[in-house]
Structure 1
């Protein structure tokens, strides 16, 4: 900007030198250059930021004498008159701070974008704040052959501004703020750049596109039909098991066989022990005394007690005589 001012002053000096013969024309040229310099000095800058970040809007002058005021559209954000600072009302005013003549906004939101006016000692300078956000969205993880949507949303642009995407190879992509990629190819992987043109200035915002590589699947070899060995090996190849899986299966089979052998041996041992106990029980029964059979005969008569009279035995019953 300083070089441009120096160029204008040089041109004005040359014009005044060659038009010294006409004082009226000389005065017109001087007034025209003053107006041009005043308009250039009052022209504002364009500031670019992202949502959630901080932005510092530079007023264009380093100090002031009487008054300083920052406005967003028509709302006052911050003002200072003769050493008495006053803060405006609103959400953006609560998030703003005045640093010398510059305005710092914390936690920028999309609705903060637009025109800002810095007025110093009666001279107003208009600035523009652009809030840009780039993103890529997809229904699932980005994979080759899938779908992806690139968005470059810019708030605060003027109607004559343009927004366009550039591919990773540098070629401009057809479309504006939104780009649909289907199917997603390897040529789409890389850094995409959103080019923003506003008020004769160009801004770039980059976005990296990364995709997940598809899983490589090797098909099972198809055995030729002529050989029987290949036919026999075909089922094992279809299983697709690695060598360590076969080792695990072999160890498992060996453990099962050992358990079966242990159970068989245990059963045999239990049977032998039962047989031995049975023999010991039979041997004990043989050692017991033998029991003899007893005949049924009348018992002896009880002895008569002393001091009593001995009774005569009763006569046996008469048996009938045999008839001759």
Structure 2
């Protein structure tokens, strides 16, 4: 009898140990860390709770109750957790709207027998300064992960290649950077839309002398779709004789005042995506520049190299400056104020000859005056040396041979 009781006690202890082990296994299997969720701030997070044969579901955040639902009635009771007002259970999943950085952390779904745990990471992506951008702008991309500061994100360009930044964490944008950037954390990506506007580059243009040519100025995006506000723009010539050619205002219409239309052709309607103009009767090679200025963003420019009859731009001599010299002239046809330089040279030589001739005439006239004055002075000096008193005889005068002198002769002598 005693042996039988000892055997029964041993069997009971073995069964008790097996029960404890099975209970621990069930508890371990019931508490499962399922997934990590990476959601952008401001978006909606959706975490599932796949517990079968449960009558109630309760979601908790750091052991604080968020919401509890009775599966049979569908009734939900909100808890004291900070995100409870933005949370609800939808088809056995917890849905949290308008995510905040403070919502990062551990979440758990519990039923009578099971428990499923999740980890939520809230990611904030931004660019400083804020877009849209113009070409060449230096931008600092930020990807902040709440919940684990040890995670290191990687920025991916629209073409999928990693972006390399400077020592300050900034990068210079080009028109190729327009599109969806992605902040990659592990295998998850949070997207950020980047818009960059610039002017498309132009190839070197070669034309014959006297021909017309289109000077291209095309933005990479239309102004209406870029979100940028244009303040002003225009065309100017850099080489030779730098001068403004055409201006553009907020109305996006070319200003045709004081423009030599015989040398430029441009559209009269409102512009949006094409600021090209036509240069007519080209005479010489040159360098032109199209520029657009945007409010609070800066300027974008594009230069156009124009060669006439294969003449390099560097060999062009500057003729003058100012808005009146809109058409570039060749060396043999340089003009000033609308006249050829050869004409101006002839006018200058003729003027010089005329001035010399006038100076000679004036000099001769002055010399003659001086000579006349000197002669008059000498005559006066001779008259002062001649005696004016004469002797008069009372005798009757007569000529030799007994002929009397004529009275007129005597008077003449007295004089």
Could you tell me the TM-score, scaled by structure 1's length?
0.49
Greater fraction of residues in strand: 2
TM-score normalised by the chain length of structure 2: 0.40
Q: Which has the larger radius of gyration?
A: 1
